[in-house]
Structure 1
Amino acid sequence: MQTRSGAQIVVDGDVVYKLHRPETNPRQLTARLAVAVQSDSVLSPLDAVPEPVGTRWRTRWPRVQTVAPEPDCLPWAAAGRLLARLHRETVPRRQPPHGWPQRLRRMLRHTADVTVRHAAAGLPDVVWRAGSADRPATLVHGDWHLGQLGRRAPGRPWLLLDIDDMGVGDPAWDLARPAGFWAAGLIPDDDWATFLDAYRGADGPAVPQGDPWPVLEPVARAAVICAAAHHPEDELLREACSRMR
């Protein structure tokens, strides 16, 4: 299976092989693997060192159960608490910045969609960097959505999957996609409130008490624009981009 980023996934029994996207930096990948080995929030790889495969790099992971697409029982509360736990972990030395700004730049290189490009042109400067001096700097997953949760067996704790964009920066980025999808009408109010309340209840540092939107709005816009580029058939995402213009 090939992902949108260009990575390739092969499942062999209980082992998942991931061939990372072509431009992957092996030193950064190794640093991210070290975080996964040490973190209580991230699924640990079977090997802590990536394997060269031609000009690319491959890692091995245990096979896990992922979130079933059942709207009435999505683990929003568990997800909020898990992200808060990641954001409170000690930041290891020599970690790369998280990958959201680079994802935005890749998206712009590969889309000719006028609506998407016009919406992206209006994004503020803050979204083109991983963090800023006036914001917390924590470990950030860098590509979080419910599909990035996995667990070893039913009833076991959820863990974060996919370390390709993990790094240091503003933790608000990990709330960007659910915030943007909620604003675009793709996530129900109750689910968004459950997620945000659980994150705050677990002392997540990404948003202050009171109105979270001044912090979340720029990154939420960026997440919606990226999603619209990848899903041009989604009318709600395209309408949200049109409103940004």
Structure 2
Amino acid sequence: MSDSDDLIDDLRRLAERHGDGPAEVIPTRPDVVIVRAGSIVVKAHGPGARREPLELRVRAAAHPALRGIVLGPVTEEVAVVRGRLVTVWPAGTPVDPGDPDAAPWTAAARLLARLHAVPARALPPLPPAGGPARVAATVARLEGRSPAADLVRRTLACLPLPGSPASPGDLPGGFPAPGARLPGPRVPLDSTGAPGHPGEPGASAAAGSLAHGDWHMGQLVSAGGEWTLIDIDDLGTGDPAWDLARPAAWFAAGLLEPSVWHGFLAAYRAAGGRAAGAEGDDPWPRLDLPAQAMTVQLAAASIDKAERAGRPLDEVEHALLDTCEKIARARNACHGAPAQ
């Protein structure tokens, strides 16, 4: 029996101890194991997950200030099972990836607006939200020197991400006009506070701003008849504009219908969300950098997935790479080197 089988067996027993049904493994991403037993799920977090930040995040998810916004845990205990950190949560019904037209964009926008309105000081102390760090980590996982991987690395090097040596004011000219959205082909979607100053996401994202850190449609479940946010692995303080980065990136790459994007943004603002500015403001000065960084992250993840599966990139993945090339060209004065 392999280590993976041993882990799953132990998770089954833990799930059946907390749950009210037979245990079954739920398909998810490769580094995570989820086992459901009736009304609960047990999650083995990815290898290398750190205990203290996860405990803080689980405690925050259980806090009354996030009730109805973030799914609360069954228990605040973070267990260790065969070297993996494990948490227990109520089960919910996820968004159907096979029916993108039914995706709950309005509900998601309202939940994010409510999350961003919660003062971080109302919660137990939290680590930084995961948004910017996830970009570099995803690119770092790329292996080899293929043209696609090199393009992604080059584009990342051109982005003034929070914590990078250069700030937007330090970088040479040749950037797009503030708020300029990169053009892209229009194809249907096939799957799925204190905002920063224009052009500087995170610049004024003080400790009072709360962000999910890795929001996408897979981070929603219906529980008790209401949609709620899940997966608190990257919950923390930071610029909430990064929570809007994925749909903004899809839209900018031509992979999200304009009506869906504009409806999502309008619903977010109508619910009080301020990460993209007030209603009537141009959102792109705040969203450009997070959206471009997310495009790099999505492209890197696509390359890694395709290489592991031994298949060529598909149409959507090529669209992401095309957008990376446009970003690199628009920022062609970055480091004084042209994007080729």
Q: How does 1:141-220 map to 2 (within 5 A)?
A: 141-153=212-224, 156-209=225-278, 210-220=281-291
Q: What count of residue pairs does the alignment treat as equivalent?
A: 242
Between the aligned partners of 2:39 and 2:32, the Cα distance in structure 1 is: 19
Q: Separation in 1 of the partners of 2:202 and 2:255? A: 29
Is 2:53 the partner of 1:53? no
Task: Tell me if 1:76 matches 2:109.
Answer: no
- Which amino acid in the other structure matches residue 152 of structure 2? V
Give distance in 2, aligned partners of 1:212 and 1:179.
10
TM-score by length of 2: 0.67
Q: Percent identity?
A: 39
Could you tell me which residue of structure 2 aligns to residue 134 of structure 1? 204
Moved more, 18-27 or 215-224: 18-27
Q: Distance in 1 between matches of 2:126 and 2:296?
A: 27
Tell me which residue corresponds to 1:21: 46
Q: For the Cα contact (< 8 Å) 2:41–2:90, is it kept in 1? A: yes
Structure 1 or 2, whichever has the larger Rg, is: 2
Q: Show structure 1 runs of 5+ residues with no match.
A: none
User: What TM-score do you get using the length of structure 1 for normalisation?
Assistant: 0.92
Contact 1:17 1:58 in 2 (8 A): yes
2:62 aligned counterpart, secondary structure:
helix
Instruction: Show the 5 A alignment for 1:41-120.
Output: 41-69=69-97, 70-91=99-120, 92-112=123-143, 113-120=149-156
Aligned to 2:34: 9
1:241 maps onto 2:267 in alignment:
no
* 8 Å Cα contact 2:128/2:236 also seen in 1: yes
Partners in 2 of 1:125 and 1:110 — Cα distance? 18
Shift of 1:56: 1.9
CA distance in 1, matches of 2:300, 2:77: 33
Aligned partner letter, 2:226: P
How much has 1:2 moved relative to structure 2? 4.8
Alpha-carbon distance in 1 for matches of 2:28, 2:294:
21
Give the gaps of 5 or more residues in structure 2: 1-26, 144-148, 166-195, 304-312, 329-340
Structure 2 counterpart SS, 1:231: helix
Paired residues for 1:225-236 under 5 Å: 225-232=296-303, 233=313, 234-236=317-319
Query: Offset at 1:127?
Result: 7.0
User: Match for 2:29: what amino acid?
Assistant: T
Partners of 1:81 and 1:220 lie apart in 2 by 20
Task: Please tell me whether the aligned partners of residues 127 and 222 of structure 1 are also in contact (alpha carbons under 8 angstroms).
Answer: no
Question: Contact 2:61–2:71 at 8 Å: present in 1 too?
Answer: yes
Q: CA–CA distance in 2 between the matches of 1:82 and 1:228?
A: 27
Give the aligned CA root-mean-square deviation in angstroms.
1.9
- Deviation for aligned residue 1:102: 2.3
Counterpart residue type for residue 157 of structure 1: E
Mapped contact 2:131–2:234 kept (Cα < 8 A): yes
Question: Which amino acid in the other structure matches residue 82 of structure 2?
Answer: G
Q: Is the 8 A contact 2:132 2:162 kept in 1?
A: no
Give 1:21 deviation, angstroms: 1.2
* Structure with more relative contact order (C-alpha pairs < 8 Å, separation 6 or more): 1
Between the aligned partners of 2:153 and 2:87, the Cα distance in structure 1 is 34
Deviations 1:13-35 (A, max 9, x none): 32211111122111111110111
Distance in 2, Cα, partners of 1:57 & 1:178: 30
